Structure 1
Amino acid sequence: MKSNAELQKDVQDAIKWEPMLNAAEIGVTVKDGVVTLTGVVDTYIKKTEAEDAAKNVAGVKAVVEKIEVKHNTQLGKKDDNEIAAEILNAFRWNWQIPNDKVRVKVEKGWVTLEGNLDWGYQRDAAKNAVKNLLGVVGVINDIKIKPTSEEVIEKAAIESALKRNWSIYDNDITVKVSGHKATLTGTVDSWYQKQEAGRIAYNAPGVWSVDNELTVDYDYALMDS
């Protein structure tokens, strides 16, 4: 059982542990498992690293992310056309992203990705290729998973994959399938486990979308200590 103060310290320590992050730039507040991150960083990748660090802490139920990205002007300001060109070049060098399948729009540093891909890992690879680039303020990933083959979702295959994963194998997760959608219900111990379960389901053949209804259930002390 953790108090708000204990969970806050755990999140702060997790952020300090990331070599890319400066803990002094990021504020952390906690209430009943909901973590709010505030502050200003100079790259989008730092913003996502801080969010991921917080989500991976045991006891975190949700993360409210209010970190702003303000780029260091000494590194040179990039316009939207330059950012778009760098994104397309990054896609060309990434074997996980099919050529000419992802459309890119950039507006004031905000990147929107659109298109249809066969696999969830390709969708994730597209976002990961973008978030490392200088000049990017945020990413909206609107890529849809629509495989060219009409494979039927195998419920048992998703259940087996969840049981194989060391971090979530002993949790109470129920899988339901309807058409090309998989729905996950039940309880897990952390936000990380919820995300990991969703990622595993997304990678199953035939899955176009995942409705992740897993609840993060963790005991908290009634008073800070």
Structure 2
Amino acid sequence: MKTNEQLQKDVQDAIKWEPLLKAAEIGVIVKDGIVTLTGTVDNYAKKLQVEKAAKSVLGVKAIAEDIEVKFADSKKKDDAEIAEDVVFALSVDLIVPDKKIQVKVENGWVTLEGEVHWNFQREAAKRAIEHITGVRGVFNHLKIKSELNDAIEQKEIEAALHRSWAVNDKDIRVHVEGRTVRLTGTVASLYQKEEAGRIAWKTPGIWHVENNLEVDYEYALID
């Protein structure tokens, strides 16, 4: 059980613990498990690292992120240059089916559209461009359209969740409807919720995951 003040300190400490973020000036506001992050960083990868550090803290239910990426004048690029770098990064990543992906860049924000066969390919596409200078953020609108026609087995997903050391599956319920998997119930942390979603996305033949898990954590009433 934590107070808002204790959770705030834990999140601040988690951010400071990351070597990449030691010099970052990040504001942390906490209200009943909802963490608001503010401040500026000098590249998009650091912004993602701040979010990841905050999500790893026990007691965090949700993240409201308002971190701005600001580049030094020497690192600024126009959208055409960024687009060229993005296309090249996707083309050299062996996991990414770059021929199926369309790229749009506007004011440093990259939009990825198209279809891939697996969620790991969608995630790999985003990772491939996170460290590109000039990128302020990524809208990953890639859709999953599996080539497999295998029926999705609910029991196999439940077994995969049960095997994971990172997820307590006791209060997780799995529902399968066609190509969609829906997760409901409760978990103890935001990290567990996202990890359960990642596990579900590995299901052969899947097109959609609806992650409706709720983070159930008891907070102290006195700050």
The TM-score with structure 2 as length reference comes to 0.97
Tell me which residue corresponds to 2:105. Answer: 106
Tell me which residue corresponds to 2:54. Answer: 54
RMSD: 1.1
Query: Which stretch of structure 1 is more off in the superposition, 32-41 or 82-91?
Result: 82-91
Over residues 191-224 of structure 1, what are the superposed CA-to-partner deviations in whole Å (9 max), with x where a residue is unaligned?
0000000111111111111100000000110011
Tell me which residue corresponds to 1:210. Answer: 209
- Determine helix, strand or coil for the equivalent of 1:153: coil
The 3 A distance-change label for structure 1 pair 159 and 170 is closer
For residues 49 and 43 of structure 2, the distance between their equivalents in structure 1, rounded to whole angstroms, comes to: 10
For residues 41 and 92 of structure 1, the distance between their equivalents in structure 2, rounded to whole angstroms, comes to: 28
Q: Report how far residue 73 of structure 1 moved.
A: 1.4
| Structure 2 gap segments, 5+ residues each | none
1:32-111 paired onto structure 2 within 5 Å = 32-74=32-74, 76-111=75-110
1:18-29 paired onto structure 2 within 5 Å = 18-22=18-22, 24-29=24-29
- Determine helix, strand or coil for the equivalent of 1:203: coil
Over residues 31-67 of structure 1, what are the superposed CA-to-partner deviations in whole Å (9 max), with x where a residue is unaligned?
0000000001111111111011101111100000000
Q: Is the Cα contact below 8 Å between 1:181 and 1:207 reproduced in 2?
A: yes
For residues 172 and 3 of structure 1, the distance between their equivalents in structure 2, rounded to whole angstroms, comes to: 25
For residues 98 and 24 of structure 1, the distance between their equivalents in structure 2, rounded to whole angstroms, comes to: 35
2:153 is the counterpart of 1:185: no
2:115 is the counterpart of 1:116: yes
Q: Is the Cα contact below 8 Å between 1:15 and 1:23 reproduced in 2?
A: no
Over residues 140-195 of structure 1, what are the superposed CA-to-partner deviations in whole Å (9 max), with x where a residue is unaligned?
01000001222221111111111111011444100001010000000000000000
1:171-182 paired onto structure 2 within 5 Å = 171-182=170-181
**What is the identity percentage for the equivalent residue pairs of Structure 1 and Structure 2?**
58
Q: Report how far residue 99 of structure 1 moved.
A: 3.4
- Determine helix, strand or coil for the equivalent of 2:206: coil
For residues 160 and 56 of structure 1, the distance between their equivalents in structure 2, rounded to whole angstroms, comes to: 24
- Determine helix, strand or coil for the equivalent of 1:100: helix
1:150-169 paired onto structure 2 within 5 Å = 150-169=149-168
Query: Which stretch of structure 1 is more off in the superposition, 196-205 or 76-85?
Result: 76-85
For residues 36 and 45 of structure 2, the distance between their equivalents in structure 1, rounded to whole angstroms, comes to: 18
Q: Which runs of 4+ in 1 moved over 4 A?
A: none
- Determine helix, strand or coil for the equivalent of 2:98: coil
Q: Report how far residue 88 of structure 1 moved.
A: 1.3
Q: Report how far residue 24 of structure 1 moved.
A: 4.8
